[in-house]
Amino acid sequence: MVGSLGVRKGAWTEEEDILLRKCVEKYGEGRWHEVPSRAGLNRCRKSCRMRWLNYLKPNVKRGQFSVDEVDLIIRLHKLLGNRWSLIAGRLSGRTANDVKNYWNSNQRKKVISSTDEVQSKPKAKSITRDNIIKPQPWKFRNLFWLRGKSTPLINVGSQYGDDLCKPCYSTVSPPSDINEVESIWWESSLDDKEINQTINSSCLGSVSVSAAAAYLESSESHFVKNNAPRGIKTGDVFYEQGQNCWSDISLDADLWNLINTELDQQQPEGLQSIML
């Protein structure tokens, strides 16, 4: 099959796989726009990248998902939604495509059927403009304690205005390294006690699901080493220390409590070892 631009489409042949593998082994991953010409493949850059990441990469794990993996997927999906790459990042050797396919072909049906069951029951509360939960994106890219050595002060407010959550200043000590940061978050998200402690001490009240996802994003790929201005960047806005930035973060108490309750109910022994 050949596309409109003369680029081959459809299933990959063994010869193409060999060419791609050799090319990546020789030049390394990245610069995918150069891969087709380097490898002598009549494929587009995206196709090459996808084939490598989802199929040819040496550490890609294939075959059935284990019970632990399934359990983790379910929990993480509840926490992160369809953030397949983030979920896959917690599953050693699994790709986002794998996880997505698995979810679409297995778990989604279960969720739908359980949703149907719930829908057959009387609704406790109708959804209105006032009570709908609306997650907001939250980037931690320039989180002060991920970057600097200093111990800044944060002015904490809320989306509901300072009337409901008076600005309070908290002192936060920067974790010593990336693993520690990640451990703290995972311990927090899987251990109800820890979470309450952390939250109370930071005047936040609760943290949104999108914030959790953003945290993962930051811990996965955005830790930076250099000293940086003291402050927090949310979206395109950089907040200097002392400014109110929390107003852009959704504080979904209901959602968070729901997750905590679910996570608290059962926690397999192998879970922590997978994630940490």
Partner DNA sequence: AAAGGCCACAACCGCCTCGCA
Partner DNA sequence: TTGCGAGGCGGTTGTGGCCTT
Q: Up-side HSE of residue 70: CA atoms within 13 Å toward CB?
A: 12
Nearer to DNA (CB atom), residue 26 or residue 125:
26
Q: At what angle do helices 192-201 and 253-265 cross, to 10 degrees?
A: 150
Task: For the CB of residue 274, give the shortest distance to DNA in the complex, in Å.
Answer: 19
First to last CA, the chain: 44
3-state secondary structure of 232: strand
Nearer to DNA (CB atom), residue 6 or residue 122:
6
Q: Which residues are paired to 168 by β-bridges?
A: 156
Task: For the CB of residue 155, give the shortest distance to DNA in the complex, in Å.
Answer: 24
Nearer to DNA (CB atom), residue 154 or residue 214:
214
Separation CA 106–CA 162 (nearest Å)? 44
Nearer to DNA (CB atom), residue 96 or residue 184:
96
Task: For the CB of residue 69, give the shortest distance to DNA in the complex, in Å.
Answer: 12
Separation CA 172–CA 30 (nearest Å)? 37
User: Between the CA of residue 227 and those of 52, 104, 198, 233, what are the distances in Å?
Assistant: 35, 43, 25, 15
Return residues touching DNA (CB under 7 A). Answer: 1, 3, 8-12, 30-33, 43, 45-47, 49-51, 54-55, 62-64, 82-86, 96-98, 100-102, 104-106, 139, 141
Task: For the CB of residue 194, give the shortest distance to DNA in the complex, in Å.
Answer: 26
Task: For the CB of residue 219, give the shortest distance to DNA in the complex, in Å.
Answer: 13
Nearer to DNA (CB atom), residue 31 or residue 134:
31
Separation CA 38–CA 43 (nearest Å)? 11
Nearer to DNA (CB atom), residue 55 or residue 223:
55
User: Between the CA of residue 151 and those of 170, 182, 198, 230, 231, what are the distances in Å?
Assistant: 10, 19, 17, 9, 11
Cβ neighbours of 241 (radius 10 Å): 16
Nearer to DNA (CB atom), residue 161 or residue 229:
229
Task: For the CB of residue 140, give the shortest distance to DNA in the complex, in Å.
Answer: 10
Non-local CB neighbours of 157 within 8 Å, separated by 6+ positions: 165, 167, 244, 246, 247
Nearer to DNA (CB atom), residue 105 or residue 126:
105
Q: What is the bridge-based pairing of β-strands 168-171 and 231-234?
A: unpaired
Task: For the CB of residue 62, give the shortest distance to DNA in the complex, in Å.
Answer: 6
Separation CA 123–CA 139 (nearest Å)? 35
Task: For the CB of residue 181, give the shortest distance to DNA in the complex, in Å.
Answer: 18
